[in-house]
Structure 1
Amino acid sequence: MAATKTSRDYRSPLREEQAANTRQRILDAAAGCFAEAGFAGTSLRDIAVAAGVSVETVKLNGPKSALLIGAFEQAFSGNESHENIVDSEAGRATLGIADNDEFLSTMVRFIADANARTSALWAAFTAAAASDPLAKFEMDDLLSRKLQDCRTAIAELDRRDMITTDSARNRLADVLSFVISAEGHQQLVAQAGWSHARYTTWLEASVRQLVLSPTDS
């Protein structure tokens, strides 16, 4: 009996690792499919073919809306943790930057890079939320976390004395949330043809002008 238990203990982590690797491959494939064809235009078979696995394996990791949600979270932050940015490794590292200008630039680059990975997925996510209850629930949760992150960012910018206005901080968080939106990236980069560098430069300038030093208080 002891030998059997040891054998099972040995194999279990391997199976878990293989399952995690398979799920990551499926989510990567799903991200590509959803970004290219949208939610309605993507089938589980499409994802299976792109991932190099069976449809049954994709179904075990589904349903389709759950794959979209997982693909978005993985593309945005690198995992499916559903954690706030401030609680992530990248968020904690950014908060630890002492220089104010470097802090702001790092924060903006993180957002710009994340939007570049997910803005097309966001369009699929929005479409799915219009008809799928799970997608709608997850989108509401994600938007709530985004606003919390924006309020945390405003509080940190305020703590650093980088905000030069008497505007209500919650209002500034709303403005920040609008400026960094995936929809903005989609319009400027995907539709207007801006380069990633130009978008990132514009994003930082917009945060400085509209959030740090807005003319309308």
Structure 2
Amino acid sequence: MDTTQSRTYRSPRRQAQAEATRAAIVRAAARLFADRGYAGTTMQSIADEAGVAVESVYKAGSKAQLLRRAHDEAVAGDDRPVPLMERDELRAAFAVDDQRALIRTFTRAVADRARTLTPISSAFMQAAGTDPAISATWAELETQRRHDMDRLVQAVAARGPLREGLTAERGATLIWTVLNHQAGWLVTHDLGWSDEEVADWMAEIITCLLLPSA
């Protein structure tokens, strides 16, 4: 009896090429979602932007899945599967002992995301208005953003007092509602602020919302 079992051969080079193609497709989708919105972006236009066949785009995911991946990469800063708050630059911020220095370090670590994330978030909200599944995904993302703000406020509160009468939960809610993608759009696209200016603006808002007057 033949006991030979067939084995699937995976070429590392071929796998690397496939991953590079998927990354190019996600980047192309992100550019188009930002420029044209969700409704104005087609799978064919993504293929044209990425320089691949449209079949490759469908293999990379549905349009909704590409939107989610584009959003996740804009939040994280790249395509590595590491959550925002576990990134080295955020870990460094949370290692700072002083409240105000922690806030400044945090905002400088994330300010550059605003420029790429805000148009993707706008496309997400556009799509959420017409697609219940995307709406549910957007709610999930906002829950995660709220959780991230809670981690920030908890870290600040662990290093000193918050302003009188403010709980950590209330502080996280304030930051979550004020520092949203619409505000990010205003400062990056309407006002054209640099990443440094955006970081200073974020730090000022967080400090005013959370900390006692100096």
Unaligned runs of 5+ in 1: none
**8 Å CA contact 2:104, 2:199 repeated in 1:** no
The structural deviation recorded for 1:180 is 2.2
The structural deviation recorded for 1:173 is 0.4
**1:81-130 alpha-carbon deviations (Å, 9 max, x no partner):** 483x3333433232223454432212112232111221111100110111
**8 Å CA contact 2:33, 2:67 repeated in 1:** yes
What is the RMSD computed on CA atoms of the aligned residues?
Answer: 2.4
Structure 2 CA distance for aligned equivalents of residues 213 and 146 of structure 1? 24
**8 Å CA contact 2:37, 2:123 repeated in 1:** yes
Structure 1 CA distance for aligned equivalents of residues 72 and 80 of structure 2? 5
Amino acid at match of 1:38: G
| 1:111-122 → structure 2 map (5 Å cutoff) | 111-122=110-121
Distance verdict in 2 for CA 1:64–1:50, change over 3 Å:
same
**8 Å CA contact 1:179, 1:203 repeated in 2:** no
Structure 1 CA distance for aligned equivalents of residues 101 and 51 of structure 2? 42
Question: Partner residue of 1:189?
Answer: 188
Task: Tell me the TM-score normalised to structure 2 length.
Answer: 0.87
| 1:1-217 → structure 2 map (5 Å cutoff) | 8=9, 11=11, 13-77=12-76, 78-79=78-79, 81=81, 83=83, 85-161=84-160, 163-213=162-212
**8 Å CA contact 1:179, 1:207 repeated in 2:** no
Residue range with higher mean Cα deviation, 170-179 or 72-81: 72-81
Task: Tell me the TM-score normalised to structure 1 length.
Answer: 0.86
Amino acid at match of 2:52: V
Amino acid at match of 1:79: D
The structural deviation recorded for 1:162 is 5.2
Amino acid at match of 2:191: A
The structural deviation recorded for 1:188 is 2.5
Structure 1 CA distance for aligned equivalents of residues 203 and 91 of structure 2? 20
Distance verdict in 2 for CA 1:119–1:133, change over 3 Å:
same
Distance verdict in 2 for CA 1:79–1:101, change over 3 Å:
same
Unaligned runs of 5+ in 2: none
Aligned residues: 209
More helix by share: 1
Structure 2 CA distance for aligned equivalents of residues 61 and 105 of structure 1? 38
**1:147-177 alpha-carbon deviations (Å, 9 max, x no partner):** 1111111111000115233312211101111
Distance verdict in 2 for CA 1:80–1:59, change over 3 Å:
farther
Identical counterparts, % of pairs: 26
**1:7-27 alpha-carbon deviations (Å, 9 max, x no partner):** 925x1x333322221111111
Distance verdict in 2 for CA 1:80–1:73, change over 3 Å:
farther
